[in-house]
Amino acid sequence: MFCKKVLLNKNVYSSIQNVSLKQLSKSSINYANILNLKVNDPEILIPWNEAKPYSEIPGIKSSSQTVRNFLPGGKYYKKSLKELHQLMNDEYGDLVYWKGAFGKPDILFVYNAKDIEQVYRNEGPLPNRREFQVLSYYRKNIRPDIYGDNGGLLVEHDHKWKDLRGKVNPVMMQPRVIKQYIKSVEEVSDEFIARMLKLRDSNQEMPDDFMNELNNWSLESISSIALDTRLGCLEDNLSMNSDSGKMIQAVHDFFELTFSLEILPSIWKYIPTPSFRKLTAALDIMTEIALKKVDEAIERLNNNPNSEADTEASVLEKLLKIDRNVAVVMAIDMLLAGVDTTSNTTAVLLYFLATNQNCQNKLRSEIMTILPEKDSKLSVDSFKKMPYLRACMKESSRIIPIFGGTRRKLPVDIILSGYQIPKGTEIVLSHHTSCMREDQFAEPSQYKPERWLNNEESLGCPVAKNASPFAHKPFGFGPRSCVGKRVADLEMETFIMKLIRNYNIEWKYEDLEITSRVIAQPVTPLKFKITEV
């Protein structure tokens, strides 16, 4: 029997009739497509043998063309990642083939939400995401003395990844574990806000290097969770030769150099280029500092064991009980993935609040119901009553996603936009473009947090539920979604609540300029004006 072609009505699941699953093959419709297809627009299912072959997908068809595009005079020369994706989407369409060069694999770029959903829904229980190649090489070939056979969640795949994620999930994904850090994260936020007030110039504005200050706040916050200690990042006159200063610079170097080594054509696999050597030096710094801090934490915990039976063990304690190596690698990964990402996300959110005073005022009103006094403290319940804050965060990350996409290799053949996609194809899902499309979000360039609230139709803002939920996935989807989501949310929500409750943020300059490498980063000096309310 064959699959009956079905016209799918809006807002309903497809109905598949007259299908024998055992007989499904490439001669009919892919099994995974049938089980998982959910669409918001009319779509006609087609058999595999009626889909266009993979070789006909438009794009960059030769390695020499790929290299030429990035050389001086090439159309992608010195373009940011966001600009690169938009140029390819405009020229080639929603699917773009990219021929690899210098040993890098061929890539399929996916730009529309319907296809992105299909990729996520067909990834299976062991999602395969291409790791950071340089990071993997460093951990497995340069520093096996530290990492052994545990490359970490950023590197591992298949059953090794599943085993590690299974150990880490109960620690990192449980709300009760993360919420125990409300007090320490709030203390860091309070100290940082006090420092911000001291940093103001005669115009009540932040200094040109305020981005560095946000990095210090982010590192101080994440270290209180990952390492069970404060690093002193918010101290006056912090030296870049201190552990904190070195760590911040190393993390920044990692993301900056990863773009040139992982995304752009590079010969580091054949010759240790200057960028490769600089990146491995940065990884050495992160590894040594993290090892030092973990050892200090172990000694501290041994000298002061948790004696209260009703006190929740810390994240580090829980990880150490699993395995010291797991604790070390997770601490490094939390610092690596949780500093620049959180600080840049926060910078972008502050910009949108500063340039949309009506949204900031509405947010402040919501916060004041939770924190009625200037010195009110946060509790677990405080985070349950902040829908507009979360809407502001979602809208900010939609317009300027810090991570513009993710990679997958699927274990099955699928059909995307009428093309055959063989299993094992290297796929990049681009949220840079999918979350800024008119067919998903009305007036996509406008900052409208109300679109994320279900009861805001009266404001003339179409709610985001009308868009595909796969058009905007800042933390990924499925088993391989970001393990640090709860930590990042806690840090940002705490800081924004404490800041906006008592201070107004303004922006008096031109539009914020962003560069997109591996992550999006503000280029414009963050000269926010901070005044008491």
User: Which residues are part of a known binding site for heme?
Assistant: 482
Q: How far apart are CA 342 and CA 340, in angstroms?
A: 6
Spatial neighbors of 291 by CB under 8 A, at least 6 apart, are 146, 328
Spatial neighbors of 504 by CB under 8 A, at least 6 apart, are 360, 530, 531, 532, 533
Cα Rg, the chain, nearest whole Å: 24
- Find out whether 152 and 164 touch, Cβ atoms under 8 Å: yes
| Nearest-5° Cα angle at 364, 360 to 369 | 155
Specify the amino acid at residue 161: W
Q: How far apart are CA 102 and CA 431, in angstroms?
A: 26
Beta partners for residue 128, in sequence order: 409
What is the token pair recorded at 182? 């409300």
Q: How far apart are CA 29 and CA 50, in angstroms?
A: 10
> In Å, how far are 222, 249, 289 from 331, measured between CA atoms?
9, 17, 11
Q: How far apart are CA 95 and CA 82, in angstroms?
A: 16
99: burial class by Cβ within 10 Å (0-12, 13-18, 19+)? middle
Position of tokens 């006190």? 311
**Binding site, annotated residues:** 482
How many CA within 13 A on the CB side of residue 255? Answer: 23
**512 three-state secondary structure:** coil
**505 three-state secondary structure:** strand
